[in-house]
Structure 1
């Protein structure tokens, strides 16, 4: 059985890697799609933070959930603020994982439109789903970084 410490080690590695990618890319590149139909690295990290807040904070720990999943993939903004939010969400996740009961069922059941696993999950299962999302999107961001790092810098459009 995976310990809480081991779990947090691997989730931290994914979050640290994603945060490093958006910092490396900077505001302009981190907010840009590498190719048509791709998500920006900024949006992917934002999405992952929402996944943590929803699945760990909401379904595992029982806090209220207010989520617009579709909007997560169009999020933009300053990298510095996203990285600060990443540190805050990560710290809360550490507390929540320590307080979780992996063998017990979720305190809230996910709605069908949250696109999680199509089975009733334990708290441990939901935590594994969070790691699945973090690992998947970290790898995706590494590929996007490689494409975006080679692209010329353009000024960030402001509304």
Structure 2
């Protein structure tokens, strides 16, 4: 099974940055939303990233169904310590998922109705995960900065 080590390391690096950012705030800050319509909390962003990564790496690429409440991810709340513990577990699961598939294989469980070009291979799906982790890291950085400014 071929695993793109560089892609895996980049993804895990951005994942680690995201959860270090969340780990750098207290519980109240992590659960607060900026005063903007539709804004998400840092806790919600982190919870969403955990669900997103597991969905694409396990359910889509491996065909192993994992329960996910995508809408609930954004409204989740709790302690930073608990979220960081979950992140450590999910990080290991993600790495196991990635190592258990051939990058060139077709995903085992493509989502119905999705026709994105990256769905042609497990590697393409992992590129999408990397894209999403980077996007949500930026989302979290802006959220943290808004919260720090009192918004």
Under a length normalisation based on structure 1, what TM-score does the superposition of the two structures give?
0.85
Q: Which residue of 1 aligns with 2:53?
A: 52
Structure 2's unaligned 5+ residue stretches are: none
Q: Which residue of 2 aligns with 1:130?
A: 129
Q: Which residue of 1 aligns with 2:72?
A: 71
Find the residue that maps to 1:137 and give its secondary structure: helix
Q: Which residue of 2 aligns with 1:85?
A: 86
Distance 2:137 2:93 in 1: 20
Under a length normalisation based on structure 2, what TM-score does the superposition of the two structures give?
0.89
- Aligned-pair distance for 1:65? 2.8
Structure 1's unaligned 5+ residue stretches are: 153-159
Deviation per CA, 1:49-70, whole angstroms, max 9, x where unpaired? 0011110011111211322211
Distance 2:135 2:19 in 1: 15
- Aligned-pair distance for 1:4? 2.4
Call closer, same or farther: CA 1:130–1:117 in 2, change over 3 Å. farther
Distance 2:132 2:49 in 1: 7
Aligned pairs, number? 147
> Hey, which bits of structure 1, 4+ residues long, moved more than 4 A?
none
- Aligned-pair distance for 1:107? 0.7
- What root-mean-square deviation, in Å, do the aligned CA atoms of Structure 1 and Structure 2 show? 1.8
